[in-house]
Chain A
Amino acid sequence: MSGDVIVIGGGTAGMETSGQLANAGCMVTLVEKEEQTGGHINNWYHLFPDRRNGSEVIDYLNNKINSDNITLLKGITIDHIEKHKNRFIVKTNQGKELNADAIIIATGFDLFRSERKEEYGYGIYDNVITSVDLEMKFRSGSLKMNNGESPKRIGIVHCVGSRDEKTGNLYCSKLCCVTAVKQAIEIKEYLPDSRVFCFYMDMRMGGALYEELYMESQEKYGVNFIRGKVSEVGESINHSLIIKVEDTLVGRPLKMELDMLVLMAGMEMSEGGRKIAEMSSLKTGENRFFQGRDNHFGSNLSNIDGVFYAGTCTAPMNITETISHARSAVSEVLDYLKVFRK
């Protein structure tokens, strides 16, 4: 098989597709806007459900793109895409022109900017942090508050920027529940004497080994779960955080003082993806992610022949799903090139 393919986005999906295409004999140009590949996993210390180190996945992906058939362009964004007689012409922000027979969009997701949910106080109160900030703390090996003390009571808020029409995101980001459980366990491992409370609307543990992890968090780590959406966060005179929530299963409002609050930020269509949607006629769905041609058997196909989608640019996915989606994109591209080459 031969053919030139441009892959836009050097995260999990982009790296996996590039490697698979290169193995199949295609010449691949992998374009990444940052100076390093790997995408969001670079910001993650341990992964659910087995808490393997994120760097193991990065190593796997780096190994995958280590091929003579792959040209990696870093620090590059796309300015223009056009199609001429089954050939694509792509212009980069540095004025370079790339040509290809097919394009894979793997522009991924952006994390919801938690300061948009102002009532939770991110960027206002020191000890309100996001799930990514917490991963960074884990990686640095120190889980401390801003004043240098260890937090004794930590709250975790699910669904920040997901399932919330006030933020314009009606969908479930799918990964935050299990991330909350994983992080709750890790907090307890760092600080065994601390108390951890998860505030959830629904526990969506629909993934391999998720429910088991949930049970383990209760059984082995004593993580507390309170069913209710946090409505607001304030600060007391001694700088502890005060949250208001309804304990819906008791049926009474609950007020709690916490030392630290971790916001489970959801996933949104990436800024880069949005720009590509704007400059092309690629369709996006009501959740603003790219819209596949068919929900069941065409999630890799775009509305333009020769342009394909891989990974979380189409919907929230975990790493396992992203890699599967990337591989199925490759199979679609190879089928397309076969027909197109005849």
Chain B
Amino acid sequence: MDKFGYTISKGRQINYESNDRWVADYIYEREPSFRLCIECGGCSATCTTGNLTKFSLRELQILIKRGENDQVRLNIKKCMLCGKCTLVCPRGVNTRNIVILAQQAFQKSNDYAI
């Protein structure tokens, strides 16, 4: 039998006020083309990882910008850094570098936590 009882479910909304967008700021500073995404999904369509696992570079970028960092932290590691996404981007976003910088940002924050 299923567990029975009350739980407190976490709200679904993006809490823009309480979310900390520090990873986004970290990337904006080092890779200004991060601002240019128009969410066309070209990167995700061509992505080998994204066709096999739940990985969408387009989605990860917007999550970073909204400060939904927990979802990004786990998924960003799946990228194999092949750079195909960078080749198709119509806005010239250096998507590959964004992944590298995001990984770097998370690594640094872990260091700080220790």
Which A residue sits closest to B44, measured CB to CB? A246
Check B32 for interface membership: any CB of A closer than 8 A: no
Closest approach, in angstroms, between the C-beta of B93 and any C-beta of chain A? 9
Picked from A229, A251, A252, the residue with its CB within 8 Å of the CB of B40 is A229
With contacts A201-B40, A229-B40, A251-B56 taken as known, whether A244 is within 8 angstroms of B90 at the C-beta atoms is no
Picked from B56, B89, B91, the residue with its CB within 8 Å of the CB of A246 is B56
Task: Determine which residue in A228, A231, A244, A253 has the highest number of CB atoms from chain B within 10 A of its CB, and name it.
Answer: A231
With contacts A248-B41, A248-B58 taken as known, whether A232 is within 8 angstroms of B46 at the C-beta atoms is yes
With contacts A245-B41, A253-B45 taken as known, whether A159 is within 8 angstroms of B90 at the C-beta atoms is yes
CB proximity to A under 8 Å, residues B25-79: 38-47, 50-51, 56, 58-59
Closest approach, in angstroms, between the C-beta of B60 and any C-beta of chain A? 11
**Chain A: interface residue count, which band?**
20 to 34
Which A residue sits closest to B33, measured CB to CB? A165
Check A96 for interface membership: any CB of B closer than 8 A: no
Cα A245 to Cα B26 with chains together (Å): 29
- Residues B58 and A231 in contact, CB atoms below 8 Å apart: no
Contacts of B50 in A (CB 8 A): 246, 253
Contacts of B59 in A (CB 8 A): 251
- Residues A231 and B56 in contact, CB atoms below 8 Å apart: no
- Residues B41 and A165 in contact, CB atoms below 8 Å apart: no
Which A residue sits closest to B87, measured CB to CB? A166
Check A212 for interface membership: any CB of B closer than 8 A: no
- Residues B92 and A245 in contact, CB atoms below 8 Å apart: no
Check B88 for interface membership: any CB of A closer than 8 A: yes
Check A163 for interface membership: any CB of B closer than 8 A: yes
Picked from B45, B91, B92, the residue with its CB within 8 Å of the CB of A228 is B45
Closest approach, in angstroms, between the C-beta of B89 and any C-beta of chain A? 8
Which A residue sits closest to B91, measured CB to CB? A165
- Residues B39 and A231 in contact, CB atoms below 8 Å apart: no
Contacts of B44 in A (CB 8 A): 246, 248, 253
Cα A253 to Cα B46 with chains together (Å): 8
- Residues B38 and A201 in contact, CB atoms below 8 Å apart: yes
Contacts of B45 in A (CB 8 A): 228-232, 244-246, 253-254
Q: Mark A207-245, 1 if CB is under 8 A from B, else 0.
A: 000000000000000000001111110000000000011
Which B residue sits closest to A200, measured CB to CB? B40
With contacts A248-B39, A248-B40 taken as known, whether A164 is within 8 angstroms of B56 at the C-beta atoms is no
Cα A252 to Cα B52 with chains together (Å): 11
Which A residue sits closest to B54, measured CB to CB? A252
- Residues B40 and A165 in contact, CB atoms below 8 Å apart: no
Contacts of A227 in B (CB 8 A): 41
Closest approach, in angstroms, between the C-beta of B94 and any C-beta of chain A? 12
Task: Determine which residue in A230, A253, A254 has the highest number of CB atoms from chain B within 10 A of its CB, and name it.
Answer: A253
Contacts of A278 in B (CB 8 A): none
Cα A230 to Cα B44 with chains together (Å): 10
Picked from A164, A166, A228, A232, the residue with its CB within 8 Å of the CB of B41 is A228
- Residues A252 and B56 in contact, CB atoms below 8 Å apart: yes
- Residues A231 and B88 in contact, CB atoms below 8 Å apart: yes
Contacts of B90 in A (CB 8 A): 159, 163-166, 201, 229
Check A119 for interface membership: any CB of B closer than 8 A: yes
27 A/B residue pairs, CB under 8 Å, sorted by A: A165-B89, A165-B92, A166-B88, A166-B89, A166-B90, A166-B92, A201-B40, A228-B41, A228-B45, A229-B42, A229-B45, A230-B42, A231-B42, A231-B43, A231-B45, A232-B45, A232-B46, A232-B88, A244-B46, A246-B42, A246-B44, A246-B50, A247-B41, A248-B41, A253-B45, A253-B50, A253-B56
Please report B residues at the A interface, Cβ cutoff 8 Å. 38-47, 50-51, 56, 58-59, 88-92
Q: A163-B38, A165-B89, A229-B40 are in contact. List 14 more A-B contacts (CB 8 A).
A: A119-B88, A159-B90, A165-B92, A228-B40, A228-B45, A229-B45, A229-B90, A231-B43, A231-B88, A246-B45, A246-B56, A247-B41, A253-B47, A253-B50
